[in-house]
Amino acid sequence: MSEQLDYRRQSEAVKDRFDRLKQRPVTLEVKGLTKQFQTHDGQLITALNQIDLKVYKREFVCVIGPSGCGKSTLIRILAGLESATSGEVLLDGKPVSKPGPERGMVFQAYTLFPWLTVKQNIMFGLIESGQSKFTAEAEARQWAELIGLGKFENHYPDQLSGGMKQRVAIARALANQPKILLMDEPFGALDAQTRARMQAYLMEIWKNIDVTVFFITHDLDEAVYLADRVLVLKANPGEVEELIEVPVPQPRHPEQALSDEFLATKLHIERLIHPPGQDEEEHLNLVNMVNIASDVGSIL
């Protein structure tokens, strides 16, 4: 059924949501962004080519694409950790050239300070921004409660599970009240159950906090479940393939993963990333390591 359903078919409620979304101020604008690298042998590689994008206030955008499409390079440029070869990035109309507190960043790897407790990790950015220790501690406790780790505020990172560590990382990034939260495959290292819980946590936090989210993922289900819009990149070089308005109504819940709208959108993205017939079946040149007769081939 999902194959016959046009992923662009939207209910009136979804159409109204996107009409209202596009009336909001533009938080992030990317204009003609190009990034090139020079290899050791002098060859020039274009990682990103002429990326244009507008992200609206309080929007949730996911970025997905084949390996080598430049997803992580893109988000590092948005964070100010790398510079573009040409083009520009504007946050509320102001050029981005270096890291800043108006952009929170969450990586896939756990980047907590191992010598600091949950509370102290959340406090770190607040104190660096000039808040008093008393104020920072009070705010950190509120964030620890918000992410469900109030009872663990005095625990160290090595006493926490992977999902708990990422919750702390998200709270630390949001504590400075950034305008946009940049997330580079933050749940990629988690098991399926923890990943699903983290997605639910993130959606709940996003609904209750004034923040725009720009989220890199390689998981199609995650992209469709989380995003208002999905930016699909193509590789070699990384260019905009399509910017998709997800027709699945908000607020989202896990049961929607079986809906026609969800499945049709996921199928469309999958075909963009892996067009039918593009990749020929790879044959591995394997040496038979079995010294006795085997009928495993007949089973396969």
Would you call 213 helix, strand, or coil by DSSP? strand
For range 100-114, the mean pLDDT: 90
Would you say 10 and 264 are in contact if contact means Cβ atoms under 8 Å apart? no
Pairing of strands 44-56, 26-38: antiparallel
Q: How far is CA 222 from the centre of its chain?
A: 9
Domain locations along the chain: 1-57+66-97+219-275
Dihedral over Cα of 224, 200, 216, 222: its sign: negative
Would you say 28 and 233 are in contact if contact means Cβ atoms under 8 Å apart? no
For 145-178, the pLDDT digits (tens) are 988 899 999 999 999 999 999 999 999 999 999 9
Question: pLDDT band at residue 28, thresholds of 50, 70 and 90?
Answer: very high
Question: pLDDT band at residue 41, thresholds of 50, 70 and 90?
Answer: confident
For 262-292, the pLDDT digits (tens) are 999 999 999 999 887 765 555 556 666 666 5
For residue 137, pLDDT beyond 90:
yes
Indicate the pTM of the whole model.
Answer: 0.89
Long-range CB pairs of 150-153 (<8 Å, 24+ gap) are: 152/118, 153/117, 153/118, 153/119
Percent of the chain with pLDDT over 90: 70
Question: pLDDT band at residue 110, thresholds of 50, 70 and 90?
Answer: confident
For range 59-86, the mean pLDDT: 95
Nearest CA to 245 out of 10, 6, 4, 3 is that of 10
Cα-based distances in Å from 61 to 27, 51, 112: 12, 15, 25
Would you say 56 and 22 are in contact if contact means Cβ atoms under 8 Å apart? yes
Would you say 34 and 88 are in contact if contact means Cβ atoms under 8 Å apart? no
CB proximity list for 56: less than 8 A, separation 6 or greater: 21, 22, 24, 25, 26, 27, 212
For 184-242, the pLDDT digits (tens) are 999 988 899 999 999 998 998 898 889 999 999 999 999 999 999 999 999 989 999 99
